[in-house]
């Protein structure tokens, strides 16, 4: 399946499109340097892959605006050389493609504003498009306007594991559910290094997700879209297969 909508927002691989705006989340530029400092020598290959992915998405979307929904860089407590270089290069790339660029603050963006000052951009706590409220998802908003019907978050990095014998494949996913009286969409991470947190086996981290079992799973893989149904049903099927 190549076309799919969640609460009227269009899924284009790991990006969500509303009207003429693309939304991506959790890019985590500079992740390789953090892993290198931890002893895992990973080449700095993520930046080029992110550009390739976004170019393929934009060919389909033809959007004029983009929202980066938090965690544009990886390090919490500082800015390293890779982050300075790649964040600025990424912003320069976006400014050549999109008329408007908005960046929402994530929990990894404690020092991101210092980089954005070089391009006269400012972090925001949230964005509103029509009746959609877009926020990173690591904390609950103090107030939501009355016209809002759907909340869009990142932060969670959702994925699921597909098992075939001893082989396990992870696939990034969207989550479709509700929070209080609002529709809720959780966007997969855009980072190329980590697939994310397996929602079937790991505890969720966003305060917006109160009962993961009642969320629907929409997996994305290289542009293809796979609706998997509800989390509770996937868990039940996995349980039956493991006990067969």
Query: What mean pLDDT do residues 176-181 have?
Result: 97
How many Å apart are CA 209 and CA 182, to the nearest integer?
12
- Determine which of 91-95, 126-130, 230-234, 236-240 has the lowest per-residue pLDDT on average: 236-240
Which CA distances in Å does 123 have to 106, 120, 185, 207?
Answer: 9, 10, 21, 21
CA 135/CA 162 separation, integer angstroms:
29
Supply the pLDDT for residue 46: 79
In this prediction, residue 32 has a pLDDT band, given cuts at 50, 70 and 90, of low
| pLDDT at residue 34, rounded to an integer | 62
Instruction: Specify whether the CB–CB gap between 174 and 218 falls below 8 A.
Output: yes
Arithmetic mean of pLDDT over the chain: 89
Higher model confidence: residue 39 or residue 107? 107
With H, G, I as helix, E, B as strand and everything else as coil, classify residue 240: helix
pTM to 2 decimals? Answer: 0.93
Enumerate the β-bridge partners of residue 153: 186
Opening angle at CA 19, ends 53 and 100, nearest 5: 65
Look up the CATH architecture of domain 4-242. Answer: 4-Layer Sandwich (3.60)
- So what's the pLDDT on residue 127? 98
What are the boundaries of each domain within the chain? Answer: 4-242
């Amino acid at each position: 399946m190549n076309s799919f909508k969640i609460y009227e927002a269009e899924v284009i691989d790991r990006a969500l499109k509303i009207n003429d705006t693309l939304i991506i989340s959790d890019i985590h530029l500079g992740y390789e340097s953090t892993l290198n400092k931890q002893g895992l020598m990973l080449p700095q290959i993520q930046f080029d892959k992110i550009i390739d992915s976004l170019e393929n998405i934009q060919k389909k979307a033809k959007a004029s605006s983009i929202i980066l929904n938090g965690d544009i860089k990886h390090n919490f407590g500082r800015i390293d050389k890779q982050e300075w270089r790649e964040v600025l290069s990424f912003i320069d790339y976006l400014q050549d493609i999109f008329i408007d660029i908005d960046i929402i603050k994530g929990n990894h963006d404690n020092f991101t504003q210092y980089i954005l000052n070089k391009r006269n951009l400012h972090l925001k706590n949230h964005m509103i498009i029509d009746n959609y409220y877009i926020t990173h998802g690591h904390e609950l908003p103090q107030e939501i306007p009355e016209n809002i019907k759907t909340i869009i978050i990142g932060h969670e990095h959702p994925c699921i594991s597909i098992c075939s014998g001893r082989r396990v494949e992870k696939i990034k996913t969207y989550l479709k559910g509700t929070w209080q009286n609002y529709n809720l969409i959780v966007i997969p991470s855009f980072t190329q290094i980590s697939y994310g947190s397996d929602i079937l086996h790991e505890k969720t981290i966003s305060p917006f997700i109160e009962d993961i079992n009642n969320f629907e799973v929409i997996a994305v893989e290289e542009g293809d879209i796979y609706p998997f149904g509800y989390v509770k049903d996937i868990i039940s099927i996995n349980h039956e297969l493991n006990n067969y």
